[in-house]
Structure 1
C-alpha cells in the first residue's frame, strides 16, 4: 500500500525522518515499521526536502507529521542545527527528536538550545535500535500528550 493510502487509514500517522545516511534510513524505516507500526515514515535526505515537505503537509492535514526524527549531521553539523532552528521557528509545537552519533556535552547543549525536544544517540547494534524505537513509541505515543495541530484536527 502506498504512503498516501496508508495515511487515510484510521490511527496511521506520519513521522518525518530527516537523514542523509541511506543505511540509517533503512534501519530507522525498519524500526519504525517493527516498533511503531501505526507510523508512516516520510524520508527527507536534506534540510531543503524536509522544509518543503513540512510546507506542503501543513496544508494537507493527514500528511502533517506528528514527530520529526532528525539526524544532526546533514551532511554537516551546521546543516542539522540550522534545520532544527528553522523547524522551531516555523512549527513551534512540532516535536523534534535529534539523532546523533556524538554526545559531547557542548554539542548536547547546542542541540537543546536550538530547540530539540530530545537527543537520541544512534545505537551501535540492531537490537539497540529496536529497543530505542520501542521506548520512543511508548514515550511519544503512549505517555505524553502531543499538541493538536490545526492541520491535524480533521484527521482525528
Structure 2
C-alpha cells in the first residue's frame, strides 16, 4: 500500500536551511526577512542586492562547502531585467543542482516562459502585502522543506 504521509526523516524540516535572496529593493528585503523568520524559523537567509554580491556569496560558500544555499529566491529586475536573466543563466551553468525560484512583479506570459526555459524551478508573482508574503513562505516551507528532498550539498 502506498503511504500518503511524507517521510519526515528525508525532509529538510529539522535542519538549518540556508537560502540566498537576491533582491535589490530594500523594502522587499525587509518584508521577505520578516516573513521568513515568521514562517520558516530554520531559514538562514542571506540577502544580495546585486549580481556581483550573489555570485560572490555562491562562490565562497561553494568553495568552503559551508552554508551553501539550498534554494535561491531571485528577483529578475535588479533593476534591469537583463541582469536577472544573466544571473539565472550563470547560476544554472555553475550550480545546476541549485533550485532557483523567480520572484517578479511582472506577470507577462513571455517572462514566465523564458524563466522556465532558462531553468527556473518556479515562478512566483511577488506578493503585494505582508499577509501574502507570509502565506507564500508558509507554502514554500511546506513544499521545499516538508515535501521535497533537497541535496545536502550542491
Contact 1:66 1:94 in 2 (8 A): yes
How many pairs were matched up? 141
Secondary structure, counterpart of 2:150 in structure 1: coil
Q: Which residue of 2 aligns with 1:65?
A: 69
Is 1:76 equivalent to 2:50 in the alignment?
Answer: no
RMSD: 1.2
Deviation string, structure 1 residues 93-137 (Cα, Å, up to 9, x no partner): 000001000111111001111110001100112111100010011
Q: Which residue of 2 aligns with 1:54?
A: 58
Task: Give the 5 Å matches for 1:129-144.
Answer: 129-144=133-148
Secondary structure, counterpart of 1:29 in structure 2: helix
Q: Which residue of 2 aligns with 1:13?
A: 17
**Higher fraction of helix:** 1
Q: Which residue of 2 aligns with 1:6?
A: none
Secondary structure, counterpart of 1:144 in structure 2: coil
Secondary structure, counterpart of 1:51 in structure 2: helix
Q: Structure 1: which 5+ runs fail to align?
A: 1-9, 151-156
Q: Which residue of 2 aligns with 1:153?
A: none
Q: Where do 4+ consecutive residues of structure 1 move more than 6 Å?
A: none
Matched residues in 2 for 1:49 and 1:35: separation? 26
Q: Structure 2: which 5+ runs fail to align?
A: 1-13
TM-score norm. by structure 1 comes to 0.87
Secondary structure, counterpart of 1:143 in structure 2: coil
